[in-house]
Amino acid sequence: MTAGSKTPEIYVDADACPVKEEVLRVAERHGLGVYIVSNGGMRPSRHPLVRTVVVADGPDVADDWIAERIGPADICVTADIPLASRCLERGAKVLNANGKTFTEESIGMALAMRGLMQHLRETSDIRGGPPPFSREDRSRFLRSLEEVVQSALRSAGARD
């Protein structure tokens, strides 16, 4: 890559993220910087590629930090659909911890379903959340992250 291109970085919405170690493994393989962003409670990493960012408590503070800094060459790992939408608007690639990628085409439906489920939880006896995180989810995440990283690296190289 030339001086005008930007190496992709990975931003992790870390408070409830079960795949931080997997992110680090893929980032290490490609030499990518990682931002682990949380409201606290995370042990700082000594790994030279990782920057631990602790933001103030409050709703969406970590999301705001990520959304204000992420760029078109970057990748966000989050289960937060509104954050995913904000990152897509900035041109970033986004995936969930289960390996599902969010795209411009899929984010509208994801936002609508989130709103519907929130409404149903507030107005009825619907309880519970997603199924427990499985080994298959972890494996699918690793494959998806590798694909997204490869795509981001190709895109960054294309800007030369």
**Domain spans of the chain, in order of start:** 10-103+137-158
H helices of 51-103, in order, are: 61-69, 81-89
- Asked if 95 and 102 touch (Cβ cutoff 8 Å), the reply is yes
- Angstrom distances, CA of residue 30 to CA of 22, 25, 35, 60, 105: 13, 9, 15, 30, 28
Domain 10-103+137-158 carries which CATH code?
A: 3.40.50
Report the SS3 class of residue 153: helix
Main-chain dihedrals φ then ψ at residue 123, nearest 5 degrees: -110, 0
> In which element (H, E) is residue 93 found?
strand 93-95
Amino acid at 156: A
- Angstrom distances, CA of residue 98 to CA of 30, 56, 102, 129, 141: 21, 27, 11, 14, 5
| pLDDT tens by residue, 97-153 | 989 888 876 665 655 555 555 656 667 766 666 678 889 999 999 999 999 999 999
Name, in order, each residue with C-beta under 8 angstroms of 154's C-beta and a sequence gap of 6 or more: none
For the record, the structure tokens of 78 come out as: 């989050």
| pLDDT tens by residue, 32-71 | 999 999 987 777 788 899 999 999 988 889 999 999 999 9
Confidence at 5, pLDDT banded by 50, 70, 90 = low
